[in-house]
Amino acid sequence: MLVSVYLAFVVLLALCLGLELAVRRTTSPQATSVAVTNPAFRNFQTLFLQGYLLALWADWLQGPYLYKLYRHYSFLESQIAILYVCGLASCVLFAPVAGWLPQALGYRRTCLLFCLAYSACCITKLSRDYFVLILGRILGGFSTSLLATAFEAWYVHHHLVVHDFPKEWIPGTFTRAAGWNHGLAVAAGLIANLLAEWLELGPVAPFLLAVPFLAACGWVVFFSWETNAVPSRSSARARFQRSCLEGLRCLLSDRRVMLLGGVQALFESVLYIFVFLWTPVLDPHGPPLGIVFSCLMAASMAGSLLYRIASSTRYRLQPGHLLCVAVLLAFFSFFMLTFSTAPGQPRPRESFLAFLLLEMACGLYFPAVSFLQGRVIPEERRTAVLAWFRLPLHLLACLGLLVLHREVSGTGGGEGGSGTRHMFGSCAAMMLAALLAVVSLYTLIRQDSELRLEGTRGEGDI
């Protein structure tokens, strides 16, 4: 298994390099936009990316060894499942708060609150006390909700209101952030593996390393980012409530939005279950978990590059087609896992391959669904609608982990356990339901010219 992981890492890096070169060949050279050469915009964009990428880097460092840390502290898999459920439940509870806080506290203060809360979350990992670790998971869910909303809210507000840049320049910034994000994720796995295994500092080391990067992020935000006037709490609360109601009304009144939300809830809730299960499936066979994590992130990067090639002016595949491919590939991955995790005869190399295919599907899925969200959901209601999308997403993930907790409490789950296999079977069924929703969505939008790429990749890279 060790040799297979390192070999897969080399192959995936070579694949990503080849795909990146292919992207540059298939992309039609467009005239350099004003957004690229405008020095004021470039300075503003760079300042934002400095803080945002530090936050993303600290977040990725915590990915490879979270489950391993809890096992290192001798907790049972059923106990670890509850810890994950606490994190997801806090995402559900704090999602509305995360949408309201930037308006009530101000965007910059909310970003600083993220740095403090996530640092506290990392420090709780030093404790072996179960309830302290639950508190850490709650803080982690709160911080994740802030990361998904506060930084983007600060950028969009200052881009449009403070600097009065054209809104057409916004996607370019998040395209750059997405490109860096994949590289940071791959590098985070390598650094985490270096600390935890090669230097033998233990699985808590990557979490401690994240703290100074969060402090650096807070430094950039506090001393370099502009602040904004904070509205009264009553007006912020009224505006937030109105935004939530308008988002719900948009969700219920447009069948396209409803179907897209269903696809997102089914697909992404399954990913949370995968995040919990990949370590107990592979770890008993002794692979370096940090390198495995880097392989998974490199596979996702490859999927994202494939999307860019497929949607380029040379091939012109539509986001709806690519979304179908992504969901179908994810279904096939979970179908494979129901056989590779059979009780008594686990096949870790096949499971590892299935995980890589699933991450490649994610690389195709996220830019495709982002493009469709940008065209289907009105811009002024997008934040509220996406918040409503996340509610069933996290609830489904919580339900899945609770079911898994009940099964592994009696069977042991873990490596090839029946609980794990049944969960992968349930995930395959959910992906099949997501595929049916994608097909229904495609039948609604296939004649809609606004939901098709015309000549360029458009906003699908966002």
Cα 461 to chain centroid distance, Å, stands at: 15
Q: How confident is the model at residue 380 (pLDDT cuts 50, 70, 90)?
A: low
User: What is the predicted pLDDT for the residue at 16?
Assistant: 95
Looking at 63-67, 94-98, 199-203, 267-271, which range is the least confident one? 94-98
Sequence-ordered list of residues with C-beta below 8 angstroms from that of 49, at least 6 positions apart, any chain: 173, 176, 177, 180
Amino acid at 377: I
Note down the domain range covering 394. 238-449
User: What is the predicted pLDDT for the residue at 226?
Assistant: 81
**Residue 268 included in any domain:** yes
Helical packing angle, 319-340 and 289-310, nearest 10°? 150
User: What is the predicted pLDDT for the residue at 462?
Assistant: 32
User: What is the predicted pLDDT for the residue at 458?
Assistant: 39
User: What is the predicted pLDDT for the residue at 345?
Assistant: 80
Same domain, residue pair 188 and 301:
no
Count of domains for the chain: 2
Residue carrying the six token digits 């295919």: 357
Give the number of other Cβ atoms within 10 Å of residue 32's Cβ: 8
- Section 65-81 average pLDDT: 92
Residue where a domain stops, chosen among 195, 230, 265: 230
- Section 410-434 average pLDDT: 75
Looking at 118-122, 239-243, 304-308, which range is the least confident one? 239-243
State the chain's mean pLDDT as an integer.
85
Nearest residue to 372 (alpha-carbon basis) of 291, 256, 200: 256
- Does 289 score more than 90 pLDDT? yes
**C-alpha–C-alpha distance, residues 21 and 226, integer Å:** 38
Q: What is the pLDDT of residues 240-250, one digit of tens each?
A: 677 777 777 77
**C-alpha–C-alpha distance, residues 313 and 224, integer Å:** 39
- Does 140 score more than 70 pLDDT? yes
Same domain, residue pair 194 and 248:
no
Give the number of other Cβ atoms within 10 Å of residue 357's Cβ: 19
- Section 255-259 average pLDDT: 85
**Residue 114 included in any domain:** yes
Same domain, residue pair 226 and 294:
no
- Does 13 score more than 60 pLDDT? yes
Sequence-ordered list of residues with C-beta below 8 angstroms from that of 220, at least 6 positions apart, any chain: 47, 50, 51, 54
Residue carrying the six token digits 């054209």: 166
- Does 421 score more than 90 pLDDT? no
CA distances (Å), 126 to each of 22, 132, 141, 203, 236, in order? 45, 9, 18, 10, 37
Coil, helix or strand at residue 27? coil
- Does 435 score more than 50 pLDDT? yes
**Residue 270 included in any domain:** yes
Same domain, residue pair 301 and 392:
yes
Question: Are the CB atoms for 96 and 387 separated by under 8 Å?
Answer: yes
Show the tokens assigned to 324: 């179908």
Cα 5 to chain centroid distance, Å, stands at: 23
Nearest residue to 211 (alpha-carbon basis) of 110, 121, 85, 318: 121
**C-alpha–C-alpha distance, residues 211 and 122, integer Å:** 7
Same domain, residue pair 64 and 158:
yes
Residue where a domain stops, chosen among 196, 230, 264: 230
- Section 376-384 average pLDDT: 72
Question: Are the CB atoms for 88 and 138 separated by under 8 Å?
Answer: no
Q: What is the pLDDT of residues 148-188, one digit of tens each?
A: 889 988 998 899 888 888 888 888 898 889 889 999 999 99
**Residue 264 included in any domain:** yes
- Does 29 score more than 70 pLDDT? no
**Residue 178 included in any domain:** yes
- Does 306 score more than 80 pLDDT? yes
Residue where a domain stops, chosen among 230, 253, 283: 230
| Greater model confidence, 395 or 82 | 82
Q: How confident is the model at residue 334 (pLDDT cuts 50, 70, 90)?
A: very high
Show the tokens assigned to 328: 């179908």
Question: Are the CB atoms for 332 and 350 separated by under 8 Å?
Answer: no
Question: Are the CB atoms for 225 and 115 separated by under 8 Å?
Answer: no
**Residue 459 included in any domain:** no
Check which CATH number belongs to the domain holding 299 and give it.
1.20.1250.20
Same domain, residue pair 262 and 226:
no
- Does 282 score more than 80 pLDDT? yes
**C-alpha–C-alpha distance, residues 107 and 278, integer Å:** 35
**Residue 4 included in any domain:** no
Same domain, residue pair 426 and 357:
yes
Question: Cα Rg for the chain, rounded, in angstroms?
Answer: 21
Same domain, residue pair 442 and 312:
yes
pTM: 0.90
User: What is the predicted pLDDT for the residue at 25?
Assistant: 82
